[in-house]
Structure 1
Amino acid sequence: MNKQDFGRKSKVRKFVASAAAAVGLTLTALLGLATPANADGLSSCPTSYTCVWEDLNYETNGNYLGRVSVYYYIPNLWQWDYDGTSVNANDSVTSVYNKANTESAAYYKNSLAGGSYFIFVAGQKDGDLSNGSPSGSFNDQLSSIYYCSQTSVGC
């Protein structure tokens, strides 16, 4: 095989690879094999964490990955933005999921485990704090989160 034949075969291989990739992407989009834009926010929360989102149904700005994941505690939510956004988490939480294995988590209105609070046991969730549950007005008012093993206040 001479250099010219090798060059032609190389170009053909590149063309075939590009065409196959294009067909694959088209089929993925048509058949819905790609991750949907509205995938489950609950499954995006890592095991052993408690997670919070800005909006209803475990999303932030339409993105289920836009969450704050808490392991042990966050004393001041004002120091945190939701993942992948510039939206600050302080006083903006509407959805909560405690995906801890065994730990209960306390969600406080004030920083440093202060003010009114509610507690969720492991596995408990609420995709709409604006509906008055848990009892009290907590929607868009949370400022700190602690696993109960990390604080003696409120647990």
Structure 2
Amino acid sequence: MPAAPAALAPAQAAALAHVGRTALRDRPSALAVIARHLAGSGTTYQPEQLVAAVAVHGRLTLNFHPDRLLADGRTVAAALAGDGVYRSQFETGISNGGLSAYPGGDRDRWEEALFGGAYQAPVCCRRTARSTGGSTCSTTPTAPAPGSAPATCGCAPTR
């Protein structure tokens, strides 16, 4: 029997609500774009059929580098197994791309738009990560200058 899902933190619930409202608002224009692509493909499927198929059969993947080392010397895989928490770039400070996960950085601004500012005040590591428990967050995060060491958010998993 699967374990019960962990409760969402308030910021996560606010982010999810914002994404839902945005999806409903933008649905007509998104369906119109899908319809244009389908019309040019020679298929007889309708946009709603395609969306329904994706809802049933679509899969979400979380991509990360399990062998990357965290500041405490553990690999990402060891930390995931030991802590039971999938940590965001804001917490780990590691990336396969740009390291702009600090207040005011490119990733922070992108997430602010995507999630309706749910994670900006206070800046908290409970961004898009999910955990087996709650977390405690500092309301006074440190923010590095671009290109310097990653920010710390003062969050610690709780059991």
Could you state the TM-score of these two structures normalised by the residue count of structure 2? Answer: 0.27
Higher RCO, 1 vs 2 (CA within 8 Å, ≥6 residues apart) = 2
TM-score (norm 1): 0.28
- Whichever structure has more strand as a proportion of its residues is 1
Structure with higher helix content: 2
